Amino acid sequence: MTEKMSGDEFLMLVRRRRSCRKFKSDPVPDELVEKILEASRWAMSGANGQPWEFIVIRNQATKDKIAEIFLNARQRVFAVERTRVEEVRMPAYTHRPDQVPSLKGAPVVIAVVGDSRTLQASVLSSNFSFGEGGAGAGYYKNMANATQLLCLAATAFGLGAQWVSVSSWEESLKALLKVPEELHVPTLVPIGYPDYKPAPPYRRKLAEIVHHEEYDRSRFRSGDDIYNFLADLRRRTREAYVHGI
Ligand SMILES: Cc1cc2nc3c(=O)[nH]c(=O)nc-3n(C[C@H](O)[C@H](O)[C@H](O)COP(=O)(O)O)c2cc1C
């Protein structure tokens, strides 16, 4: 890539990024981790509140413990998931999850820590709104932006990355990483050199998702359309989860 990245090179980078769920044990140099974090530091945030901080985890015992916490929580997810019609079930849950190679095997795991007190940078009215206009939604959008840039920057530097959503296991994770009570950890991003070729990507076509000037109601999808989309999506993306979630 030339020093001055063209628009087309940027598009190539965006298309090249794939979720990577298994990594080689080869170490990732500190300078690369720092550059990836530097990219994320430049993420957009509402009113520039910058809620993010990062914990760079390399210690194997800590990664093993994270994987254990994750897998325990996944047993309930699996129980619920298997009650779904099989053709729309998340492919990572065709069987009981018993390993998570990405969290255990990535040389580096970045915990994305958020401080929701920074939302006070934004307009006062967002504190009185719920849903989309509300402060909570803005907070998670900010954290998502930082997470996405970590993944994109990892790709730019020849690495792979995975977006791991933290859910019911957040408190256990916070205790392990000694994250203060007031803060959150919405995502983890394992980073390393991919140990396999991730499955081919799938995205809906541009013509299906772009409207001009106003929403073209004739293309509004029915409930059946959405169900068929989900079944098709699961067929197309099954291979992406060969190494679990
Ligand atoms: C909000 C959000 C949550 C996600 N959670 C997870 C996750 O917990 N585990 C995981 O392996 N991937 C997770 N992903 C990654 C998506 O599964 C992935 O981006 C999508 O399947 C498209 O595949 P690609 O990243 O290879 O293009 C998440 C992505 C987003 C934006």
For the chain, domain boundaries: 17-241
Q: What is the pLDDT of residue 219?
A: 96
Is there a contact between 96 and 242 (Cβ–Cβ < 8 Å)? no
227 touches ligand 1 (CB under 6 Å): no
Q: In this predicted model, what pLDDT tens digit does every residue of 52-102 receive, in sequence order?
A: 999 999 999 999 999 999 999 999 999 999 999 999 999 888 888 888 999
168 touches ligand 1 (CB under 6 Å): no
Helix 135-156 / helix 7-16 crossing angle, nearest 10 deg: 100
Q: What is the pLDDT of residue 110?
A: 98
Rounded to two decimals, the pTM is 0.96
Q: What is the pLDDT of residue 207?
A: 95
The DSSP line for 41-103 is: HT---GGG---EEEEEE--HHHHHHHHHHHHHHHHHHHHHHTTS-GGGS-GGGSS-----HHH
pLDDT of 175 higher than 60: yes
Distance CA 41, CA 53 (A): 9
Is there a contact between 122 and 16 (Cβ–Cβ < 8 Å)? no
Q: In this predicted model, what pLDDT tens digit does every residue of 145-167 receive, in sequence order?
A: 999 999 999 999 999 999 999 99
165 touches ligand 1 (CB under 6 Å): yes
Distance CA 150, CA 159 (A): 11
pLDDT of 231 higher than 80: yes
pLDDT of 226 higher than 80: yes
What is the whole-number distance in angstroms between the Cα of residue 124 and the centre of ligand 1?
Answer: 32
pLDDT confidence band for 2 (50 / 70 / 90): low
pLDDT confidence band for 132 (50 / 70 / 90): confident
- If one compares 122 and 1, the residue with the highest pLDDT of the two is 122
pLDDT of 1 higher than 60: no
162 touches ligand 1 (CB under 6 Å): yes
Per-residue CA distances from 172 to 70, 177, 204 (Å): 9, 9, 37
CATH no. for 17-241: 3.40.109.10
Question: Which numbered atom of ligand 1 lies nearest the CA of 245?
Answer: 11
Q: In this predicted model, what pLDDT tens digit does every residue of 179-216 receive, in sequence order?
A: 999 999 999 999 999 999 998 999 999 999 999 999 99
Mean pLDDT across the chain: 95
